[in-house]
Copies of this chain bind each other. A is one copy, B any other.
Amino acid sequence: MTVTLADVAARARVSPATVSRVLNGNYPVAASTRERVLRAVDDLDYVLNGPASALAAATSDLVGILVNDIADPFFGIMAGAAQTEIGGPGDGSGRAGGEKLAIVCNTGGSPERELTYLTLLQRQRAAAVVLTGGAVEDPAHQAAMSAKLAKLADAGTRVVLCGRPPLPDSEAVVAALAFDNRGGGRRLTEHLLSLGHRRIGYVAGPLERTTTRHRLEGHRDAMRAAGLAGDEERLTVHGPYDRRSGYDATHELLRREPEVTAVVAANDTVALGASAAIRDRGLRIPEDISVAGFDDLPFSVDAVPALTTVRLPLFEAGARAGRLAMGKEKPPPGGIATIAAELMVRGSTAPPRVG
C-alpha cells in the first residue's frame, strides 16, 4: 500500500486539507501544526500523488522541451540551459516554489512525432512547452502545429519557441526567439568573398527546414550582392544535419565542381564531415580549400585547423526560453526577438590559392 494524504493527516491529527496546505504552502498554517505535519510526512515517507494533485488542481508542473535530436549538442545545450532556468529539482531551495519538472522530448525531426508529443503534453496538462530548432515548412504540418499550439495555449500552457521562427499568425505563443540565421549566413559568405573566394560550395541541411532555408538564403544574398548569382543549384548539395551527410555531400560537390575554393557547411557537424572528405581527397585546409561551419559548437574551436563558423548563443537563448516559459522574464515586444549570430573567424578559412 502506498501512503496517502489521509494517512499523513491521521498521523498528524489534522485534516487532509491541512496537510495539503502545508505541502503547498499557499495558505496560512500555524507553525506548530506545520511542524507536526512535516514530521508525519517524513515518518511515513509520504510522496505526493502527482496525477491526483494535477487532476484536482487542474495543472501540472511539467514543462516539455521538444528537440529534434537529443544526441546533437546543438539541442543539448539549449535544452540543458532551459532546464536550468525551469528549475527541475535542486536549482535552489528544494522544498517550495515555482519549481517545475523539465522533461525533454526527442522528436527526431519528425513532424508527426512533434505533434504527438505536443498531444501528450497536452494530455499531461503541461505548464509550458519550449520548442527548439527549426520548423518543417510543410503547410499542412504548420497548420496542424498552429492549431495544436493554440489549443495548448487555451488550456493555459505557455508556449515558447527557441531558435525557431515565429509562427505565421499565432497569438498562442508567449514568445519566439529566432536566430538570425540569414544574417549569419550572409556574413559568413561575405567573409569568404572578402578573402577572395568566388567559387563557393554549399553543403546544406534538409530541404524543408526553415533553418536550412534561412542560412542558405543568407549565403545566396551575399553571393548575389557580389554579382555571383547563377550557379547556385550546382554548388549546393542538401542532406541531413550530420557528419556523414557532410562527408558524402562534399565528395559529391567536389566531383561536380573541382574548382571550388571554399565549402560552407550547414552546421559545424556537417563541416567536420566536409573537412574529412576534403582531406581524403588529398587537399589541405585552408590552403587548398577553406571550410566554414555554423553554430560554433564546443568542438569547433578544437578542430584542426580551428573552424571558422557563426556563433549562436545557444546557452543564453535556451536559458532565456526557460525563463520565458516560467514567466520569470518579460516577453520581448511583439513576442518576437531575433538573436544575433556572430561571425567567428578562425583557421579553417584563408584566401584561395592564386591561379
Contact = CB atoms under 8 A, between A and B. Distances in A.
Nearest to A314: B71
A73 B45 CA distance: 36
Contact of A113 (B90, B122, B304): B90
A88 B76 contact: no
Contacts of A299: 243, 269, 272, 299
Interface stretch (A31-39, A77-85, A175-183, A204-212): A77-85
A97 interface: no
Contacts of A77: 71
A89 interface: yes
A242 to B, nearest CB: 8
Copies of this chain assembled into the complex: 2
A302 to B, nearest CB: 4
B123 A48 contact: yes
Nearest to A61: B120
Nearest to A81: B71
Interface stretch (A98-106, A223-231, A256-264): A98-106
Contact of A105 (B49, B72, B103, B125): B103
Contacts of A119: 47, 89
B60 A70 contact: no
- Range of interface residues on A (Cβ < 8 Å): 35 or more
Interface string A111-127: 01101110110111100
Interface in A187-244: 243
A54 interface: yes
Interface string A281-321: 00000000000000000110111100000000000000000
A74 to B, nearest CB: 9
A301 to B, nearest CB: 8
Contact of A83 (B70, B73, B110): B70
A326 to B, nearest CB: 16
A115 B49 CA distance: 17
Contacts of A45: 151
Nearest to A103: B103
A155 interface: yes
Contact of A275 (B47, B89, B298, B302): B302
Contact of A94 (B94, B112, B303, B304): B112
Contacts of A70: 70, 76, 79-80, 83, 104
Contact of A276 (B120, B272, B276, B302): B302
9 contacts: A47-B122, A50-B54, A51-B125, A55-B55, A79-B106, A89-B119, A103-B103, A303-B303, A304-B304
Given A50-B124, A89-B115, 5 more contacts: A47-B122, A49-B55, A89-B116, A94-B116, A101-B124
